Amino acid sequence: MEKSPLGKVYIYTDKYDKSLLFPIDRQLNRTELGIGEGNLPFIGFDIWNAFELSWLNKNGKPEIAICRFIIPCESDNLIESKSFKLYLNSFNGSKFSSGEEVRLILQKDLSDITVSNVEIGMYMEKDIADTQINMLNGDCLDELDVCCDTYSVNPDFLCLTGNSTIIEETVYSNLLKTNCPVTGQPDWGTVLIKYKGRQISHEGLLKYIVSYRNHNGFHEHCAEQIFTDIINQCAPVNLTVYARYTRRGGLDINPIRTNGKTVRIPDMMRLFRQ
């Protein structure tokens, strides 16, 4: 992490420069979670939405777009977020023949740095004119009257109710907060948990989510830790964890992990804080 731009004063460049991208080996965190290399207990994606992409057309006129990047969790690397912002900003003063040229450059650079096949969608205003603020499907845990006094991750809060019946349910909370592991800046998010198995205590689950409040971790790592802790503590047959973080520097990150046979890429949507 010594070469990462995180936490350092940096002079922004507006000339295209793919060398600004900084990769982080996913396996470093996974080893701490007991996940062996090449033996993932889940499938999924990291879905990034970029709201501040701009470049110059061949006549020097600025063009703008929103981009959606879908990075498979099987990739060797994730991308450090500040380096991603610096990289996207480097398009600002560079000329390109078309939006499609920009999209193809983004796709190649991000696929190379993550060692995977990154999917990219590029959207103009007319493409998302009907986009509305949405809510996640499921029961919100946030109105539960629980006492919270633990703000470092505690998987012991995760427990089953006395009901031995196998159920399927989806719950979510808007109270997820973690911190950048380098700068300490807060990252605010919503986390959705969908599972099949014996019922998980809602009170314990909410207290577990709140216990991330002082935790330092990258978004992708936090989603994988939540997934791993729930599997270890509650042993659901099927589990999906979907975290949606608010944007910082024009980027939001939305990791999804599941042990299902397939994973559907969620529709492009915005929550009330996004």
- Residues 134 and 203: their CA atoms lie apart, in Å, by 25
Considering the candidates 73, 180, 222, 234, report the single residue annotated as catalytic: 180
Phi/psi at 217 (nearest 5 deg)? -170, 150
3-state DSSP assignment of residue 155:
helix
- Catalytic-residue membership of 73: no
- Catalytic-residue membership of 180: yes
Return the DSSP state at 35: P
Q: Which uninterrupted H or E stretch holds 76? A: none
Amino acid at residue number 242: Y
Closest C-alpha among 236, 258, 181 to residue 212: 181
Closest C-alpha among 215, 165, 167, 162 to residue 191: 215
Can you read off the two tokens belonging to residue 209? 């989510």
Beta-sheet strand order (sheet of 238-245): 119-123, 62-72, 43-56, 251-258, 238-245, 186-198, 166-179, 139-140
Which residues are paired to 192 by β-bridges?
172, 242
- Give CA separation, 249 vs 2, 95, 138, 246, in Å: 22, 23, 29, 10
Considering the candidates 187, 229, 234, 252, report the single residue annotated as catalytic: 187
Q: List, by residue number, the catalytic residues.
A: 180, 187
